[in-house]
Copies of this chain bind each other. A is one copy, B any other.
């Protein structure tokens, strides 16, 4: 009768305010401790401990113990994709949070999606690269062409070193605010990393927003030949 994977359990886990608070906090990409997570979720540590146990059991979150601390992070990229997918639907159905802060437009322009860039700018980068044949589809994600490699070399990224990472090198990720794709994988992460090192962009202290400096955005736009800013 029933077929396919059991999605109910996963959805039920996300269908709780506290746990979603945890998951969205982890989209930021940084590994957090239980007490930190209890703080952002606004519950006691006993409660958060219970929730984290469930999330780990379901393999949505993974842990690493270091001394008396336990660091929690998302277990896999696909969790990020799932959350962004959920946000897409929530966005369409108008189920947005009441407190739509001034952050909102900034979130749309550029934000962190786990460890890579999301939002308007990121989509433009991805599409510009695609249009210039920077990658072709491969058997597991995207394959960077010789021409594509040049773009990254020019920002100061050593593509061959990035390629050594065990994770997926380069793939597309659906952007909930734009409903289009942006660059993810090790290469996407390396790009965001590099933007921060160059001081072209800075992460907002306590949100997923990424703020570009005037010069940084300018340089990025020229480098990836993005359409002119409005």
**CB within 8 Å of B: which residues of A?**
1-17, 20-21, 24, 58-60, 76, 78-79, 81-83, 85-97, 99, 101, 103-104, 107, 126-127, 130-131, 136-137, 140-141, 172, 174, 176, 179-181, 207-208
* Given A5-B87, A16-B8, A127 and B131 contact (CB-CB distance below 8 Å): no
Residues of B within 8 A of A137 (CB): 126-127, 130-131, 180-181
* Given A58-B93, A99-B2, A136-B131, A81 and B7 contact (CB-CB distance below 8 Å): no
Among all A-B residue pairs, the 4 with the closest Cβ atoms = A12-B15, A5-B90, A11-B14, A11-B15
* Given A79-B89, A85-B82, A96 and B6 contact (CB-CB distance below 8 Å): yes
Count the copies: 2
- In the complex, the answer to whether A7 meets B90 with C-beta atoms within 8 Å is yes
State the CA gap A60–B15 with chains docked (Å). 15
26 contacts between A and B (CB under 8 A): A3-B207, A3-B208, A4-B96, A4-B208, A5-B87, A7-B14, A7-B20, A7-B86, A7-B89, A7-B90, A8-B16, A8-B17, A10-B86, A11-B14, A12-B12, A59-B94, A60-B89, A78-B85, A78-B179, A81-B85, A81-B88, A82-B82, A130-B136, A131-B137, A137-B180, A174-B174
